[in-house]
Structure formats: structure tokens, C-alpha cells
Amino acid sequence: MRRFAVASSVTTLVVGLLAGCPDRSISEVNPLQGRVEAKDIPVNVNRDLDLLFLIDDSPSMGDKQKNLADNFPRFIDVLSSIPGGLPNVHIGVATSDMGTQATDGLAGPQIGQPNMGGCSGAGKDGVLQLFTAQSTIGGGDLFISDIADTAGNRTKNYTGNLSSVFGNMAKAGAGGCGFEQHLEAVKRALSNPANQRFLRPDAYLGVIIIADEDDCSMLHSSLLGSNTSLGDRQSFRCTRFGVTCDQNGQTSDAMNQVGPKNQCHPNDGSPYLTKVADYVKFLKSLKPSDPSKVVVAGIMGTVDPFAVELRAPQDSTTKIPALAHSCTYIGGDNDGDGKPDPEFGDPPIRLKFFLDQFPNRNTFASICQQDLSGGLQQIGDLLRTVIGDPCIEGKLADVDPDTAGPQYDCSVSVVANAGMPTRTETLLPRCPATGGAACWHIETDAVACPNLNKPVDQREHIVLKIEAQDTLPKDSHILANCVTEVTN
């Protein structure tokens, strides 16, 4: 049986990227059973991409960092499959270790032993880290730079293989502060003068958070004080005062009670943690003319289930309130006993809320996997979509089989002033069009659309081609809906 359907999960991400009024002209597509593949392609393609990987370097992250490094080649494969090849990338790594310093500028007392999970001063202060890749990156840069020149060659500031160099950066160690300030570290990494030249004003910005615990970006370092009313000086304080649950957790005292909790969200009234909205506002302010240039992603624990349990901290037998793990998996041998060790992820309520504030510009995958290649491919697919990918992933439907040759059903339009009251949308005609006007047609191009993520026998290399594209407004987008089919 043949029916029409959305071709892939990638394309569903872009549906509604530039959505406007409900009577928009794109709805003139008649997909029979109503399923289409949607494309959103900037007229003026920007291939500059700054990628910040914010990596949790607390003591539980060793196996996950290795997993990230081992599977990074899959991420690069997806980026390289963008028409035109690998974008012009800057790739930097920062860690969640901000020590005991809070956003008020004051640092709390040292906790434990630094480099062994303890916290001191400003930690790594958001400075981009090279770790063991230092010897392979030149020019005094703290990040990877890989840029195409006008001759089709690439100018690089590193020696060796891109994936291998990043792998040496991704293994950030597992001795960082156990009070992980992921969001504050992102902000500091993008504003610290030590990281000059990393952030380009006109480039897309991708922020990718790799973490197994939630954010604890502190408004005041008093969260780390010896005040016994806050409970034991463990990272559960971040949950107790940074998250509120509408069911069984409406106050900090209720959050301290053992049991499941539901409908959880950041506690914007917390006197100890910084509002997540402040970090959203900061990131969008980096691209004031087009906040949609900011893309965020997370490979983290799952948000459900959410529960508080009694658990003894390391080196103790006394059980105290702790956030229960939301996901687990069997990882590598981290303790050298020859046996695989259990790994975990905790519910990232604040971090997931942060991601959700970037509609159609975010993606999320669980960190509780022995192989992170799927999550990394998911992030790469989103970036490919945002930069602009005219390749049709699904099998286009022949909507009139009785007519010779394939009869494809697409509706293509040009949107100007997206997201503004002056938004306009104009249908593009199918080629051939007279008078040199812009028009569209479907063609096969194995070079532009290699479809490397599909089995060889399923690669059709179909591309949406726009003629006279340079006559369209430079800041506009091309929206297309094309009917696809799935054969059972």
C-alpha cells in the first residue's frame, strides 16, 4: 500500500520555522493524505558556524566524554554532507567548572580538593580548553578553525585529523567542580576576553551541552555556605532550590521530601540560582538582528522520572536526600577492575527548559547510551537544516501516475521579514518561467545531495533547485512543502 508521509524526523524539525498566519499561501499544497516534507532554505546561505561544546567535567563524566570523542566522526560526517561540504567552523570546548564563583561576582569558600571534584575560586572560568590537543593547534588559538577559501581549499589552524583533534579536546577530565554551572559557563565562554576571535558576529552559533546532571548556575555563593538549613552541602541543594514541582514539590521543603514529583520546572523565585531566562536573553542578544542564528542542543539525562530518594554520598554510609537518577546504562571499565561500570544521568529540568526557549532551533538526546552517535547525528541534522539544505530526504510521491514521467507536488514560496509584522510570502512558479523570473524545479544531483546517512540502494539524490535565486531579497527564506510517499 502506498501512502504519503513525512519522510524523516529531520524534516519535521523545520515545519513552522517561519510560520505565520494560518491562511499562508504554502497551504495550497494538496498532499492527498496531508503529509509533506518541509524545507526552509535561506536565500543568502551563510556557511560560518561557531560551535561551543560545554562539557561537564565532574567526577561522573569520564565514560561519557570518551563516548563523545569516539563518536564525534559521525557528527562531522553529517556536517560534511551539507551541500558545499563542511561549513566554515570554529569549534571550542569549555567545561562546567566555574568553581564557587556566583553571578554576583563573589566566590564562596573552597569545597573539597580541586581537580578531584572539589570547587575553588572561578574554576576554569569559561576559558576554552585544548587539553591534550594543545600541541596540534597553532596561532595561539584556543579553538579549532577550519575555513574554506575562495579556491576551494581549507585553511586550518591545526594539524592532523579534525575528529582526532576534537577527541583530545573532548576528554576534559573528570575532576571538575561537582556543583556544575553549565549555563553560567556557556555565558562566560562567550564573553571571556581570553576567548577572543572564537565568536564571529555574523556566524551561526551552536551551543551543545554534554552533561549528566542539571545546571547549578548560582546567583549567590551562599548556596555553598555552611548554613545547615539548606541541607547537606551536596549538589542536591541545586535541585532543592533551583527546581519547583507543581505536584509534591511546590516549596523547597516539599522538594526535600522523598518520593516522586511531577510537572517540574525552574524555580524563578530562587534566592540562590540564576534565572534560566537570563541566559536565554544573553544568547539571543549575541545575534540581535536574527536570534534564530542561535542553535542549542543537549545530550543529557532524561527529564522523567523525577524523584527524590535517600542515598549515601561517596565515602559515607549516612543516607541523605538526593535526586534519583532518571536513566542508567552500562559503560566502560572506569575503576580498573576489569568489569563494566554502571553510568547514570539525572533529570535536567533547568537545562531542558533552556533548550525549549529556542523553538525550532533545539534538539535533545539522552546521555544514557553506550553509543552517542545517534545523538550527535541528530544535532548535525539540525545544524544542516538551519544552514539550509535543499536536498529532499524522503521519496517524492508521483501524484499523477497516469502521466508520463514523475509528477511531483510541491509548493514553494519566498518569505521576507520573517517574524515581523511586515512579513510577506509570495509563491514561486514552477520552471520554466518567463522573463528570467525566479522559479523552482526538481532535479537529481549526487554531488550536492549524497544522502550518506541512507543505505546506498535508497539514495535518490533529489534536490530542490531555485533558478535566479540571486534576484530574491537577500534576507528572505525559501519555504517548500513537497508531497512524499512511504511504501509498505
Instruction: Give CA–CA dist 477/395, Å, rounded.
Output: 23
What pLDDT, on a 0 to 100 scale, did the predictor assign at position 277? 97
CB 100 within 8 A of CB 121: yes
What pLDDT, on a 0 to 100 scale, did the predictor assign at position 487? 53
Which strands sit side by side in the sheet containing 48-55, from one edge to the other? 154-156, 144-148, 88-95, 48-55, 204-210, 294-300, 362-366
What pLDDT, on a 0 to 100 scale, did the predictor assign at position 29? 44
All 3 cell numbers of residue 447? 554531488
Q: What is the 3-state secondary structure (H, E, C) of 67-126?
A: HHHHHHHHHHHHHHCCCCCCCEEEEEEEECCCCCECCCCCECCCECCCCCCCECCCCCCC
What pLDDT, on a 0 to 100 scale, did the predictor assign at position 419? 65
Other beta carbons less than 10 A from residue 102's beta carbon = 23
**Average pLDDT of each block of 10 consecutive residues along the chain (488 residues)?**
36 38 39 68 90 97 95 92 89 98 92 92 97 93 94 92 95 95 98 96 97 97 92 96 98 98 97 98 93 95 98 91 97 79 96 96 96 94 89 86 89 85 90 80 84 69 90 88 76
What pLDDT, on a 0 to 100 scale, did the predictor assign at position 275? 98
Instruction: Write down the pTM of the prediction.
Output: 0.85
CB 236 within 8 A of CB 312: no
Instruction: Give CA–CA dist 158/424, Å, rounded.
Output: 45
What pLDDT, on a 0 to 100 scale, did the predictor assign at position 16? 40
Domain residue extents for the chain: 2-45+390-487, 48-387
- List for the chain the helix, strand, coil content (%; round to 5): 25, 25, 50
CATH architecture type of domain 48-387: 3-Layer(aba) Sandwich (3.40)
Q: Bridge partners of 429? A: none
